[in-house]
Structure 1
Amino acid sequence: MGLEKRTVKIIVIVLVVFLIIGGIVGLLLGLLLNQRYVELEVWPRSDDYNWDQPLIQFRASDPGTWQHWIRRINDFLSVYETNVPEEPARAPCSTRNRQEQQLRSPNCDNAMRMWAPCTIDNYYGYADGKPCVFLRLSHVHYWVPEPYNMSMPLHIPPEMPEHLKQIMRLRPAHQFGDYVWVTCEGEFNSDQENIGPISYIPAGLPPGFPTTRLHTADRIPRNARALPDRDPGPLVAVLFENPRRGVLINVECRIWSRDIYYDRSSRVGRARFELYVD
């Protein structure tokens, strides 16, 4: 009888230990899932894409050096090609150059004007030495973002750029909806001197991803989180208006969300690439 009681006690103790360990593991996974899945993609990218050193290099005066970048951007944007009106358009609606006399619907023409000069009509700026890159969030199915919003009495990080704070003041979430904000800048001091002015396209919209268009964990059933999106996620184009020629420029882009902790040693919520305009 005593042995049976002792055995029961051991079993109970083992079960309690396993429950405690399981709870700790579950808590840690819950804290780390966001950091594990959220990724900021940069396009175009080469066949031998390397996250640590993704180089975009070309000479504006030599089409042979940038035509392959145009093809890669077109391949990337092809899933967005549509005549179905979207307001606002989540991406350029066509990868066919207007110079080729391709017919477009009025809705598509409006979308292309909204995304100019980051469209195929302008060769995405590469022919002028003013390249566009496209940013997109991926692996968001397990993520519930916690957007920054100036209308909420919560801490805004001091390192947030002033232009972003100003936009947040002008576009409060209760009127315009929440955004996962995005910014790009030179990675180091010398890069910040060489990168030149940056614009976010479409110019009339905030620099970021509207949460209403992100298929995050709070917007889809649990059993659908492993399935691909029917509609590709929204984009932000970054236009480099006058990067210094003949200099390698390290560029870092990052998203701003309360639950994403910025860390240069991590890939979570940030992306980097190198730009060299010959």
Structure 2
Amino acid sequence: MAKGNPIEEQNQLMANGSKADTVEQPEGFKKFLYNKEAGTVLGRTAKSWMQITVFYIIFYTLLAGFWVGCLAIFLNTLDPKVPRFYGKGTIIGVNPGLGYQPWIKENPDSTMIKFNIRDPESYSPFVKQMDSYLSKYENTNGTRKCDGTMSNKDAAKGDFEESCQFSLADFEKAGCSAKNGYGFKDGKPCVILSLNRLIGWEPTDYEGDSIPEQVRDRYKKGSIALHCDGTNNPDKEHIGKVTYIPSSGIDGKYYPYQVMDNYHQPIAMVKFDSLPRNQVVLVECRAFASNIVHDITSRLGLVHFEVYLQDKDPKDKTTA
């Protein structure tokens, strides 16, 4: 072997094991977890772990305090009874929509009121839904009787804390109560109509001769008149007689709406007195006040549903 050749000398030394033994081996994972010689755990000494723990306790405490402080400031700017944003220009808007009952929650996509006058089981779900919806009016705690000029405006002004109590007596007198199954067993179903709740909204009266012809003979100032008719011309011919309870519609003394304990939402009912047998009738109901706009696309101020009165043997399964 020629002297002075560094490559050959290196190979010879490694082969003999003299230099290879002096090469430092990398730390293993176990030694990283706990190094007995250095007294470290995961590469840190006890003092280092204590320092970093104290740092993060202080850091997250200050961070949590900052977050709670910001949240408290934000909550103090909110009114628990009024949404932060409502009215014109918001998603809530200023134009109320119209809803109806009975609407079966178990079949939310259906707007058809279908029943067989000779089969109590067919209209039992609708009667139960009406019972459930109207049961809240039995609780009169925190409400007051509003006679004469009294209304929810008094509560809005701060004169009272209780909302006006809503009575179901008119519906019972007209044959729309649980006693007669809300007219279903007689083939004269009663349907509840109500406006959705808009903070601060109240009906505006029509001026002069601007009252729509559909409700002109039943319109009462301060109230919301209702009118139901067939959606299409054939439906208009077959819808028959419709009775409005009360005739003037929804009484305006229950407005404006605001958040109050046990608020009684005002409603009205329509009773279909002469529906055709075994024929679907498409119904459109509209609410009328000077500040209610009707928009078919967004269903503002109106509602659509179908009524299908069957008159057949319950055992007959041939007819849908």
The TM-score normalised by the length of structure 1 is 0.65
**Paired amino acid for 2:218:** I
Aligned to 2:121: 64
C-alpha spacing 1:229/1:207, structure 2 compared with 1 (3 Å): farther
Aligned to 1:198: 242
Q: CA shift at 1:83, angstroms?
A: 7.5
Aligned to 2:159: none
Q: CA shift at 1:42, angstroms?
A: 0.2
Kept after mapping to 1: 8 A contact 2:193/2:269: yes
Aligned to 2:216: 165
C-alpha spacing 1:191/1:66, structure 2 compared with 1 (3 Å): same
Describe the superposition over 1:130-175 as per-residue Cα deviations: whole angstroms up to 9, x where unpaired. 1001111222214243232xxx336334xx31xx21233xx5x3xx
**Paired amino acid for 2:226:** V
Q: CA shift at 1:201, angstroms?
A: 1.8
1:143 aligns with 2:201: yes
Q: CA shift at 1:243, angstroms?
A: 0.4
Kept after mapping to 2: 8 A contact 1:91/1:234: no
1:156 aligns with 2:232: no
- In our comparison, the structure showing a higher alpha carbon Rg is 2
C-alpha spacing 1:136/1:212, structure 2 compared with 1 (3 Å): same
Describe the superposition over 1:154-208 as per-residue Cα deviations: whole angstroms up to 9, x where unpaired. 6334xx31xx21233xx5x3xxxx1111111111111111111000124xxx331
Kept after mapping to 1: 8 A contact 2:171/2:269: no
User: SS of 2:292's equivalent?
Assistant: coil
Residue 131 of structure 2, aligned match among 74, 82, 91: 74
Residue 34 of structure 1, aligned match among 74, 91, 94: 94
Residue 90 of structure 1, aligned match among 166, 170, 173: 166
C-alpha distance in structure 1 between counterparts of 2:101 and 2:185, whole Å? 17
**Paired amino acid for 1:187:** T
The TM-score normalised by the length of structure 2 is 0.57
Kept after mapping to 1: 8 A contact 2:230/2:284: yes
Describe the superposition over 1:79-131 as per-residue Cα deviations: whole angstroms up to 9, x where unpaired. 01257995788343xxxxxxxxxxxxxxxxxx277543001111101011110
Kept after mapping to 2: 8 A contact 1:39/1:137: yes
C-alpha distance in structure 2 between counterparts of 1:201 and 1:166, whole Å? 14
State the aligned residue count.
Answer: 205
C-alpha distance in structure 1 between counterparts of 2:171 and 2:288, whole Å? 28
C-alpha distance in structure 2 between counterparts of 1:256 and 1:240, whole Å? 20
User: SS of 2:279's equivalent?
Assistant: coil
Q: CA shift at 1:242, angstroms?
A: 1.1
Residue 268 of structure 1, aligned match among 300, 313, 316: 300
Aligned to 1:219: none
Q: CA shift at 1:28, angstroms?
A: 6.4
Residue 253 of structure 2, aligned match among 212, 216, 221: 212
Aligned to 2:65: none
Aligned to 1:130: 188
**Paired amino acid for 1:78:** S
Residue 289 of structure 2, aligned match among 257, 265, 268: 257
Kept after mapping to 2: 8 A contact 1:56/1:275: yes
Q: CA RMSD in A?
A: 2.9
Describe the superposition over 1:44-78 as per-residue Cα deviations: whole angstroms up to 9, x where unpaired. 0012223xx51110001100101111110000000
Q: Which runs of 5+ in 1 are unaligned?
A: 1-25, 93-110, 217-224
1:239 aligns with 2:297: no
Aligned to 2:108: 49
Aligned to 1:116: 174
C-alpha spacing 1:128/1:258, structure 2 compared with 1 (3 Å): same
Q: Which runs of 5+ in 2 are unaligned?
A: 1-85, 148-164, 311-320
Kept after mapping to 2: 8 A contact 1:198/1:241: yes
Kept after mapping to 2: 8 A contact 1:112/1:119: no
C-alpha distance in structure 2 between counterparts of 1:27 and 1:91, whole Å? 29
User: SS of 2:113's equivalent?
Assistant: strand
C-alpha distance in structure 1 between counterparts of 2:121 and 2:301, whole Å? 33
User: SS of 2:123's equivalent?
Assistant: helix
C-alpha distance in structure 2 between counterparts of 1:60 and 1:76, whole Å? 22
Instruction: From the two aligned structures, give the one with the greater helix fraction.
Output: 1
Identity %: 28
